[in-house]
Chain A
Amino acid sequence: MSSLNWTTDLLNQLVSENITAEQISLPSTTLWQIESIHWQHYAELAIQQNVRWVAGWAEHVQDRFFINACFEKQGIYVLLRTIVNVAKPELPSQATVYPAANRSERHTQDMFGINFIGHPDNRRWTRHKAWAKHNYPLRKDFPLQGEPEAITPPDIDYPFVKAYGAGVYEIPVGPVHAGIIEPGHFRFQAVGELILNLEERLGYVHKGIEKIAEGRTPESLARLAGRISGDTTVGHCWAACRAMEQAAGVEIPPRAALIRGILAERERVANHLGDMGGICNDVAFVFAQMQFTRLRELWLRTNATIFGHRLLMDRIVPGGVVCDLSEASCALIKEDIILLRKELSEIMPAIDLNSSLEDRLYTAGYLSPEIASAFGTLGYVGLASGQDKDVRRDAPYPPYDQATFKVALEDQGDIASRFWVRYKQINAALKLIAQFIERLVAGDILAEWQTPPPGSESLSMIEGWRGEITAYIRFDADNKIARFYPRDPSILNWPALEKLTLNNIVPDFPVCNKSLNGSYSGNDL
């Protein structure tokens, strides 16, 4: 019983087990509504078919909670929904089946007070000490400005996993680090230099994005989405805008789609250049870091010249883009590509032939394909461990629906693989930019906005530079946002770091972490 579309198979199975799934069609996805008692069983059926868990979030609507989970296989996305009553907010956990759902369910538990029965780890996650235990910020009765105390008390009683035994010691690292990086806490248990266990504690940059999104206009939401994670401003902004456009039935002009493609690929190139330098810097190969930093800087300066912003923030707006490309700008972009290719062709062989660098990057930080698949890792982390996923190819959206490119894939699963996947992605991105410029048609760059009907909802998927970004939007009346949930790829990649550092030595952790480079801000929301 296998047909081309996995959803038919799964539906048949659900019907044979007398589970009713109400089907509602949404733009680019289907919504299946099931009863809450079947929540976990659905996951069990889905995992048998190798369906991937994508995202999970909830919503407070009057006296009910909508609980959503998104699943994907072969580029076909299904949004699963169940409804529970506010008076008795509980349902079986999917995290027992999908480890990827673990932190997401803990987030929902902290933000809504929804109890996931049988959850393997129901410690608090996003809640630190900024709000009290029985306050749930995403419920509608929680004030928008929060309940700020003068000083948030230190979070000193979080029950970390303990390790006991002769010679076992703990290393707490962060949330404040010696370098200028985002805050996050890492708790190591080690014997000598060998890492026995690593536990992440994130949430230090929780900004309440989901709460402050409520009641915004589309323009204002796009600006907010561009600030979820500063390095992915194009990716998140595009995902949010695409979700809103789908919900409102707005079609963006072809020229705007091509410019969005150029923006996204330029963001990808800049970040990968920075990361490749960062990986080299973490093993004290400063020469390469300086070169990559220089190249990234030149690249960003071109961004500033052409698009008016180094990181391309707020260039994408609902209905299109705000920056048009002149003939001269196109020529400049082409020149930039030639220059970058030439520089990379000199630097990359020097890196490839350096045996001391090779010694550090190969076999270190190994992530097996099985674990990568179990956690649903995305982007370069997944691709380096043989997870062949790329939204641009699997569920193409304009302008990628007409583009030809190869998805970079490696199978060694080590730091070197994640390094070289980034390099391959840079090459693919440069080709894509060239293609988009060739295809650039004359025309408008901004479509007129239409107020969507109240309650219209949509889910969009965009391949950001870290991997698949998912954004969910539901509109209220009067063009206002009722619910916005952005899922950064980091949410699925962070747990993989806990696994890939096992059996490495403590001083190799920083480079392992850099090779994954999750966003703290994108994770904490």
Chain B
Amino acid sequence: MNWLIAILQTTLFVVLAPLLAGWVKWCKCYLQNRKAPSLLQPYRDLIKLTHKQPVVSEQASWLFVTAPYIIFSATVLAASVVPLIAVDLPTTASADVIVMVGFFAFARFFLALAGMDIGTAFGGMGSSREMTISSLAEPAMLMAIFTLTMTASTTNLSGAIAHVLNDGLVLRPSFVFALFALILVAIAETGRVPVDNPATHLELTMIHEAMILEYSGRHLALIEWASQLKLLLYGVLIANIFFPWGIAETFTAKALGYGLLAIMGKLALLAIFMAITETLVAKMRLFRVQEYLSFAYLLGLLGMLSHIILEASR
């Protein structure tokens, strides 16, 4: 039964990811005075791509063709670790948050290799930028997550969320810092404005898009889907760690239903917040990203310190 729900939850992750992408686009269009495409448009795009023949360069090695599958699988595995609608799932008990970060790093490693595989200037440029940014983002993310795990005394996400739930509504300064650190990292890691622009057509400014410029057809569909999944994952992390209320603690149909509604509501709000910031700011100069991520790291560190100073002695 537990495993069944774990599988159901991972499936939900995969299925809902394009919907969140569609909702973000819808909000942004609304804020920009544009007529928005249907919420289902990302699904249609994915279906369209799977029907197209993938065009692969003559210079491509096996890596280029395999990478989309590796990236997609690694991201799905990362998703299986994160509680979406219920805590205390068997998958979340067997793998902790460090494993999740590891899955992300694994997927990124193959994405960067695939970017360089064809040998175009853009792919290499994108890979180089991606690695620069991730080398700064990962420590900041771990710092934010460690703050949380120190409070809960576990690196298991399920356990941490259960701990927050049991404590009830307590204002922890360390969590405020960690929340902001995680939001900053999430924006950088999912390639959103102001770090990267997923909607751009300017090859020279791209980061994520530069690596996948050569992909088409089902390969592109898988990579697009994986990045939508990554966006959803970060959203769920933020929503469920810091605002876990509503998540199912028992596996009854009613609790699970409420859990699903709660997370969808929280994600919808988060997406609105993201759409507003993306509308308000321009993309920053590439060399500002390090300052931005150092700030995220600093926030994580402050969260950790305030936990030690203010909360740990209780």
Contact = CB atoms under 8 A, between A and B. Distances in A.
Interface stretch (A355-363, A437-445, A446-454): A355-363
Contact of B199 (A193, A286, A287): A286
Interface in B30-61: 31-34
Interface string A348-370: 00000010110110001000000
Given A284-B193, A284-B197, A284-B200, A354 B33 contact: no
A178 B287 contact: no
A169 B33 contact: no
A484 interface: no
Interface stretch (A117-125, A157-165, A505-513): A505-513
A179 interface: yes
Nearest to B192: A284
B202 A510 contact: yes
Interface stretch (B11-19, B257-265, B276-284, B303-311): B276-284
B204 A507 contact: yes
B286 interface: yes
Given A171-B125, A172-B121, A193 B197 contact: no
Interface in B178-223: 193-194, 197, 199-205, 213
B288 interface: yes
Interface in A406-448: none
A384 B30 CA distance: 35
Interface in B270-314: 279-288
Given A359-B288, A360-B283, 6 more contacts: A172-B121, A193-B287, A284-B194, A286-B279, A356-B280, A360-B285
Contacts of B194: 284, 356
Interface residues of B, number: 30
A178 B285 contact: no
Nearest to A181: B201
A291 interface: yes
B262 to A, nearest CB: 31
A170 interface: yes
B95 to A, nearest CB: 36
A251 interface: no
Interface in A150-204: 169-173, 177-180, 193
B119 to A, nearest CB: 12
Contacts of A285: 281-283
Residue of B199, B201, B202, B280 with highest tally of chain A CB at under 10 A:
B202
A280 interface: yes
A294 B33 contact: yes
Interface residues of A, number: 32
B287 A360 contact: no
Most buried by B among A280, A290, A354: A290
Contact of B203 (A178, A360, A364): A178
A284 B283 contact: yes
A280 B282 contact: yes
A152 B28 CA distance: 44
Contacts of B124: 169
Given A356-B194, A505-B287, A173 B204 contact: yes
A173, A179, A193, A354, most chain B CB atoms within 10 A: A193
A33 B201 CA distance: 50
Interface of B: 28, 31-34, 121-122, 124-125, 193-194, 197, 199-205, 213, 279-288
Contacts of A371: none
Closest 10 CB pairs of A and B: A179-B201, A284-B283, A285-B282, A284-B197, A356-B281, A510-B202, A171-B121, A283-B282, A507-B205, A178-B201
A157 to B, nearest CB: 19
Interface string A323-359: 0000000000000000000000000000000101101
25 contacts: A170-B121, A171-B125, A172-B121, A173-B203, A177-B203, A178-B202, A178-B213, A193-B287, A285-B281, A286-B32, A287-B279, A287-B280, A356-B280, A356-B281, A359-B285, A360-B283, A360-B285, A505-B286, A505-B287, A506-B125, A507-B205, A508-B285, A508-B286, A510-B204, A510-B205
A283 B204 CA distance: 12
Contacts of A286: 28, 32, 199, 279
Contacts of B285: 359-360, 364, 505, 507-508
Interface string A264-285: 0000000000000000101111
A193 B213 CA distance: 19
Interface string A286-303: 110011001000000000
B115 to A, nearest CB: 14
A290 B199 CA distance: 14
A282 B204 CA distance: 11
A173 B210 CA distance: 12
Contacts of A169: 121, 124
Contacts of A506: 125, 204
B201 to A, nearest CB: 4
